[in-house]
Structure 1
Amino acid sequence: MVRIVAKGISKVFKRGRVVALDNVSVIIENGERFGILGPSGAGKTTFMRIVAGLDVPSSGELYFDDRLVASNGRLIVPPEDRKIGMVFQTWALYPNLTAFENIAFPLTNMRMSKDEIRRRVEEVAKILDIHHVLNHYPRELSGGQQQRVALARALVKDPSLLLLDEPFSNLDARMRDSARALVKEVQSRLGVTLLIVSHDPADIFAIADRVGVLVKGRLVQVGRPEEVYEKPVSVQVASLIGEINELEGKVTNEGVVVGSFKFPISVQSDKIVIGIRPEDVKLSRDVVRDDGWVLVGKGRVKVVGYQGGLFRITVSPLNSEEEIVTYSDHPMSAGDEVLVYVRKDKIKIFEV
């Protein structure tokens, strides 16, 4: 295990014209599972490359425990001396090597004895349940088995830090859940510190203890995934961590008005955006008598789709082009007028 400390890390390219990271400071504790979430181009992979030693910060300092490993454009500790295992997005398996040879490759480069290499490879293969395919080539393996081979190659060196760069993007949806569970189980068993970079919030919720959100190179929020989900600092963070409805409203003495919707909330700013998650919206043809839900007005169903066993319904206020999306276990028809309810304590307010 290792404690990662980033102090004011910045990275610029093209003589300062492109800022990939801007004064990023964060601490990743020993044995922690930490996620970096952000859109494409936010600086996620750049940060991971600096942690791995594949790149250096233009300014700022990076520590492994109390050891300075990179500082202000200088590489102090090279990648091979950082005890890191890394799983790339493409897995990067050598097609002409068997699964055993792929896993053993870093140990072979370290000039370990054949007996020690075999012991380590068989040990990690048993943990990942791929001992029966060690003599197979990558083309003979399923996507899940290839992913496990890539993970085994990262773990066979007995790393203190495991880096995962979009590790599940090449798996189909059915396999991703089991792959996430496997990574979390292996990390818990080995106690290694884990850093995962992803644009998919499902990866973060499944694996990370804490998450840092990167937007345009800046670390804008750090917290437990559920905290960031419930209390995002901005509309952009809210949309990165999960689906959210964004509504521009007019502030009045009685609340915020959006067409025929009236949200009974008190705000100080004159210009705001309301955010409400789809699961915090309920549509009904009849009055709902539940203290947890508040009626905001009538709406008209615009679009009805079907997704994941639920109906995805888009509703607009009667006299506005704004839209709210929610999910229901029963269908509705386009053009229907419905009562729109929301959970009052789940309404998010963003100043613009």
Structure 2
Amino acid sequence: MATTVVVSLPSTTVVSKVLVKPQPLQVPTVLPDIAILQANVQVPFAAIGKLFDYLRANPAVAARLNQVYPTRGIFKNAATTNPISDQKLTIDLSPNRISHIPAYLQAALMPHGLTEVLDFFNAVTGTYLDSILGALSATINVDLGAIHKSHNVNFRLCDYTPDTASATSENGCGAHRDYGTFTIIFQDGIQGLEIEDPANPGVWQPIPADATVVLCGWCAHIISGGKLNAVRHRVRRQPGTRRLSAVLFVAPDLNVALKPMVAGMPAVNFSDKILAGEIQVKWFKEIMGKRWRWREGNEDLKDGDLITQDEDIEKLILG
């Protein structure tokens, strides 16, 4: 009989639902802030690589895809010409963006991996979103479902290809914390994902290359009053080796006011703006996105190399 396994750790909560065969979770003892999701959803890494290859080989198609979302783009390849940006290519999708891709363009991309990619993200969202929200709700005694009614999710594919402007750079994805409630990261078996030891800043612990992990983000940190930590992580490249990953981001509804929702005094000294609920998720996402896009080579910032994304957010949310 299938069972539900829940593991609660200081800053991550992981749920393995009905599709998973009962087995112990393999949690690295040196990483108190991370747990492994025993995922049973098949990740279509061959299709993911195929989709990246097709868009790189067909820039006209990639350009038409980016016209669907001209403000931010969908296929991002700044790393092919920018040696100081994160050295990776990305494809950013969401239910809203997908709905705006013209039928003819979807049809053109379906034979090149898009079908498998969309099926995968639909399966992951349907299988894990509500379960993980439920586990987090139980951890902090707050009904997170009430502020996640719209299923505000984003899908990201990452191609840490060696064919970039800085082929020998180890920087695949710079150190950061995600903005949302939680993130699920699926890896293809190539080493690269690392988590910062919260007790020893600057010390990085590698995550098993085939592990699927769930990390809490800044929204979870704020809503939980600091009981859940936003987990700092990064990706290091292995020069000459291609690495693929698929990521699901989950955040509260865009109109939600970001403030502690737990009973009692927050465990963290938050800013007056946060305590008063003056910051909404939509605005918070935009603020985070500017420095994220600079790091990925898609936006210019005058102080881009002077302050990190995490420092920017800490100045905003902490007292």
TM-score w.r.t. the length of structure 1 is 0.25
Flag the structure with more relative contact order, 1 or 2, with Cα contacts below 8 A and sequence separation at least 6.
2
Bigger fraction of residues in strand: 1
Bigger fraction of residues in helix: 2
TM-score w.r.t. the length of structure 2 is 0.27
For the pair shown, the structure with the greater C-alpha radius of gyration is: 1
